[in-house]
Chain A
Amino acid sequence: MNQFDLARNVLWEPTGLEPRGIDNALGSMLTAGVDYADLYFQSSKHEGWSLDEGTVKSGSFSIDQGVGVRAVSGEKTGFAYSDELLQPALLEAAKAAKTIAQSGADAATKMPSAKNVPTVPSLYAPADPLSAMQDAKKVALLKRVESIARSADPRVIQVSVSLAAVQDTIIVARSDGYLGGDVRPLVRMNVSVIVEQSGRREQASAGGGGRYDYSYFLEEDRAEGFAREAVRQALVNLEAQDAPAGEMTVVLGSGWPGILLHEAIGHGLEGDFNRKGTSAFSGRIGEKVASSVCTVVDDGTIANRRGSLTIDDEGEVSKNTVLIENGILKGYMQDQLNARLMKMNPTGNGRRESYAHLPMPRMTNTYMLSGEHSPEEIIQSVDKGIYAVNFGGGQVDITSGKFVFTTSEAYLIEGGKVTAPVKGATLIGDGPEVLTRVSMLGNDMALDSGVGVCGKDGQSVPVGVGQPTMRIDGLTVGGAAV
């Protein structure tokens, strides 16, 4: 059974919805002025288990389902949704969504003819991660991870472990006749610890996941690895001194520090901001925006990754889109609406938090390709600077291009050697400028462990990032030591 058939069994069968009813709803919207409409059916099951202070004290389950109905007229969008997967609710939402076009110009209308698209090979197994492991085993896993963290070092005073899974089932039906579905599993584990020494306390966390079921955490000692990694980072921070303040050379580690790319250039290359001319990158395709060693892609096609999608939330097949090639800005990330208005091709980046939210251009897995240096060579090249290997969150102002991201594990580099750890500091830079200062890239490109959540206009979606070790000749470090 392909993804669409599976999705239809979950979303349409129980309530007796059928393609003809879907056609009616789409057809009812294609009145004068509406030139595109779509329906997004979704059923999302979520569970979470958490261990705190030695006890698996809470567990939760939720089910959220509904249909989002969108009518588009030129640059105008009307949107309504219903949490009932029933024909009357669908028609009612369609009626609300199309009010947008009542004052619009006449456009050719066409009746949809629902037909299945060619089957796309799925990037993940459609297994239900919630039921793939018995509840008692989930509890046992949390307790085992906790005991590993506690026994790793006597200075560990608190351990919290959480385990979460989502099974997301969707169908997209569009007025151009497209019909497609997807079944998307996603699991996540997080370990957070607090350590104490001589009255000083520090915290750290580690985790990961992807489009798997929970057995992913049992393989290759991953769960145990998260526990040990969280303790290691927290102990490093017990020794940290205030970070220096001011502009200096910064070496970023491989993997999760790729959050730099997500903030500094990723958001600024989303189609909506560029169509409206509100991004610092607007109108700059073909220009040099990075040093020539930099090639950056957004790739939704990597099997089982947290940011990957077999099809996006508008039915577009995921792609590997080159954003920057050898320093030159090549392209934007697009959804249907912005691609059409900019006369570009959709890139499989149309995503939405749920049926109750409108799709927009969003990143999938954004990363920079490897360079030619060994990481050791890069560290040795720096006389004085910062080596930052782990980060908390980041944020960007896409109009001015200013972005920040905050270290959670960083060290001084002195005379080509990594020396003392420094406390969390925010790094601030200018998106269109920062990659022009990249002077060396490692041969060690890595993707993050599967932890990223991206927020935009109040909507959260899972994403991935990655990069090789990277030397930046000048970035402002916001330490407390002036």
Chain B
Amino acid sequence: MDSKSETSETVGTAVASYDDERALLARLADGCIDQATESGASAVEVALGQGQGMSINVRNGEVETVEYNRDKSLSLTVYFGHHSGSASTTDFSEEAVSQVVSSACNIAKFTEEDPYNGLADADLMATDIPDLDLHHPWEIEMDQAVDLARRAEESALKADSRISNTEGGGFSSHSGTDLYANSHGFRGFSNGTRHGYSCSVLASDSNGMQRDYWYDSSRNASQLESPESVGKTAARRTVRRLGARKIETASHPVIFETGVSASLISHMISAISGSSLYRKASFLLDQKGEALFPDWVQIHERPLQRGAPSSSAFDAEGVATRDSDIVLEGTLARYILSSYSARKLGTRTTANAGGVRNLAVESNVTGGLQELMSLMGRGVLVTELIGFGVNTVTGDYSRGAFGFWVENGEIQYPVHEFTIAGNLINMYADFVGVADDFHPNRSSQVGSILIDKMAIACS
């Protein structure tokens, strides 16, 4: 850490060598594992991370905030047989780390025996850790970074005379190194970067104000949309909301625009996750092998995709990941399990400790949103969802929405202050089409989705 004591005005990580950073994390991990083992722990796992970066917001052409981030974390779980304890800290000093180990060991004296507790099996640990092209440091001066944020905002402000106010243009760049280590002897490092632009503006007319935003982010700055493109999209998305009306309460087909459509898939992921299944807190209990969707629906997980937002060769327990199907020809192919939930359910982990990595839904409609709207003919295009009205136990779904009324496959006018409701089981079975308009830089590659029928409530 001494090598990083200079907070440079350059974003990125020119200051520290990755070898030094890795050596520090490895030394800390070894120290934790040794101390816990000496205290009698039968197994130990520790996750460490260290990152730095800068976020800038420019509003009305002037710098509003510059934030320098430097984050560290160490979290540890110890097992005494089947008793476990966890502790974490942001302080890497010897004293603090030692205290964290003793705290975790102390907690394990009081937790009860759980026969499913423990590390993932040693033979599942990733042995080949390929470079997944996740680390692209961007050495950029603060002034240049400010200028990029300013360009995003400026192009939004110039794009349309109805743009009346701004929350600004944003720039961010972060890089980090993580280590997961356990007492099987597994050590998995990962280096990653993330850079991005954002812009949020307001538009107004006699009916009031509307606000929307756009962003792009990527591990590699050269893969980003231009700041001007981010600004123009933010302006277009904001202006198109002006003049919103209400519609009658009724049942209609609904398109979830790409960006909000991924939430439909994430509700399924949460319901087929091990912790929901073994607690019976899922509307998709015992559905493996059953048809959830029409037979053209294919959903994949691609943890090994090069350069993608959530890629990793091993999961949060060190288990080797692999690309695989979650839904095949409309049928649920597997659950989302860690080694703990797999043991509870009497099966093997799916290398999903820590969640799913890079979901992709195959499209069956080419020609993007326009073609999907033609297919729908008449109905509602939902471009934003608000609220938390999704019940994972029952599948009941009721959320606030903003969007557009569509007739003859064309947008007629924006609509606001309405809700959409149904049950996810029916909504999945009612998938009519998935368009090919997903954004390549998002961690879930899900195009716009057309659902046959939902309840729309409006005043």
Q: Does B205 contact A (CB under 8 A)?
A: no
Query: Chain A at the B interface: mostly helix, strand, loop or mixed?
Result: strand
User: Which of the candidate stretches A49-57, A110-118, A215-223, A364-372 sits at the interface with the other chain?
Assistant: A49-57
**Is there contact, CB below 8 Å, between A276 and B87?**
no
Q: Does A1 contact B (CB under 8 A)?
A: no
**Is there contact, CB below 8 Å, between A404 and B387?**
yes
Inside 8 A of A478's CB, which chain B residues have their CB? Answer: 389, 398-400, 418-421, 455, 457
Q: Does A123 contact B (CB under 8 A)?
A: no
A64 to B88, CA, bound (A): 8
Q: How far is the CB of A446 from chain B (nearest CB, A)?
A: 23
B455 is contacted by which of A52, A402, A480 (Cβ under 8 Å)?
A480
**Is there contact, CB below 8 Å, between A424 and B396?**
yes
**Is there contact, CB below 8 Å, between A480 and B396?**
yes
Q: How far is the CB of B425 from chain A (nearest CB, A)?
A: 12
Beta-carbon nearest neighbor of A400 in chain B:
B210
Beta-carbon nearest neighbor of A138 in chain B:
B110
Among B120-136, those with CB < 8 Å from A are none
Q: Mark B374-410, 1 if CB is under 8 A from A, else 0.
A: 0000000000001111010110111110100000000
Q: Does B94 contact A (CB under 8 A)?
A: no
**Is there contact, CB below 8 Å, between B88 and A62?**
yes
**Is there contact, CB below 8 Å, between B91 and A63?**
yes
Q: Does B65 contact A (CB under 8 A)?
A: yes
Among B84-114, those with CB < 8 Å from A are 84-91, 96, 99-100, 103-104, 106-114
A135 to B394, CA, bound (A): 36
Inside 8 A of B86's CB, which chain A residues have their CB? Answer: 58-61
Q: Does A80 contact B (CB under 8 A)?
A: yes
B389 is contacted by which of A93, A160, A280, A392 (Cβ under 8 Å)?
A392
Inside 8 A of A79's CB, which chain B residues have their CB? Answer: 65-68
Known: A424-B389, A478-B398, A478-B420. A66 touches B457 (CB 8 A): no
Among B277-324, those with CB < 8 Å from A are 278-281
A57 is contacted by which of B104, B112, B457, B459 (Cβ under 8 Å)?
B112
Q: How far is the CB of B328 from chain A (nearest CB, A)?
A: 27
Inside 8 A of A93's CB, which chain B residues have their CB? Answer: 7, 68
Question: Number of B residues contacting the other chain (C-beta, 8 Å)?
Answer: 83
Known: A245-B419, A278-B165. A194 touches B281 (CB 8 A): yes
Q: Does A477 contact B (CB under 8 A)?
A: yes
**Is there contact, CB below 8 Å, between A425 and B142?**
no
Inside 8 A of B23's CB, which chain A residues have their CB? Answer: none
**Is there contact, CB below 8 Å, between B208 and A400?**
yes
Q: Does A394 contact B (CB under 8 A)?
A: yes
A297 to B108, CA, bound (A): 45
Q: Mark A172-216, 1 if CB is under 8 A from B, else 0.
A: 000000000000000000000010100001110000000000000
Q: Does B150 contact A (CB under 8 A)?
A: no
**Is there contact, CB below 8 Å, between A246 and B106?**
no
**Is there contact, CB below 8 Å, between A59 and B107?**
yes
Q: Mark B409-426, 1 if CB is under 8 A from A, else 0.
A: 000000011111111000
Q: Does A247 contact B (CB under 8 A)?
A: yes
A474 to B459, CA, bound (A): 8
Known: A393-B387, A394-B387. A401 touches B114 (CB 8 A): no
A201 to B89, CA, bound (A): 39
**Is there contact, CB below 8 Å, between B398 and A66?**
no
**Is there contact, CB below 8 Å, between A59 and B110?**
yes
Inside 8 A of A463's CB, which chain B residues have their CB? Answer: none
B69 is contacted by which of A157, A194, A356, A397 (Cβ under 8 Å)?
A356
Q: Does A168 contact B (CB under 8 A)?
A: no
Beta-carbon nearest neighbor of B421 in chain A:
A480
B110 is contacted by which of A64, A65, A136 (Cβ under 8 Å)?
A136
**Is there contact, CB below 8 Å, between A399 and B202?**
yes
Beta-carbon nearest neighbor of A479 in chain B:
B421
**Is there contact, CB below 8 Å, between B280 and A278?**
no
Q: How far is the CB of A314 from chain B (nearest CB, A)?
A: 16
Q: Does B260 contact A (CB under 8 A)?
A: no
Known: A93-B7, A405-B387. A61 touches B394 (CB 8 A): no
**Is there contact, CB below 8 Å, between A482 and B249?**
yes
Known: A400-B416, A429-B417. A424 touches B279 (CB 8 A): no
Beta-carbon nearest neighbor of B63 in chain A:
A76
Q: Does B229 contact A (CB under 8 A)?
A: no
A58 to B208, CA, bound (A): 50
Q: How far is the CB of B452 from chain A (nearest CB, A)?
A: 14
Q: Does B5 contact A (CB under 8 A)?
A: yes
Closest 6 CB pairs of A and B: A478-B419, A404-B400, A404-B387, A247-B459, A399-B211, A245-B457
Q: List 29 A-B contacts (CB under 8 A).
A: A56-B110, A58-B86, A60-B85, A75-B62, A78-B66, A81-B69, A92-B7, A93-B7, A97-B68, A157-B280, A196-B280, A201-B394, A245-B419, A392-B389, A395-B386, A395-B388, A396-B386, A397-B386, A399-B202, A399-B210, A400-B402, A400-B416, A403-B386, A404-B386, A423-B394, A429-B417, A476-B417, A478-B398, A482-B455
Known A402-B386, A429-B417; further 7 A-B contacts with Cβ < 8 A: A62-B75, A65-B91, A100-B63, A243-B421, A245-B455, A401-B208, A476-B418
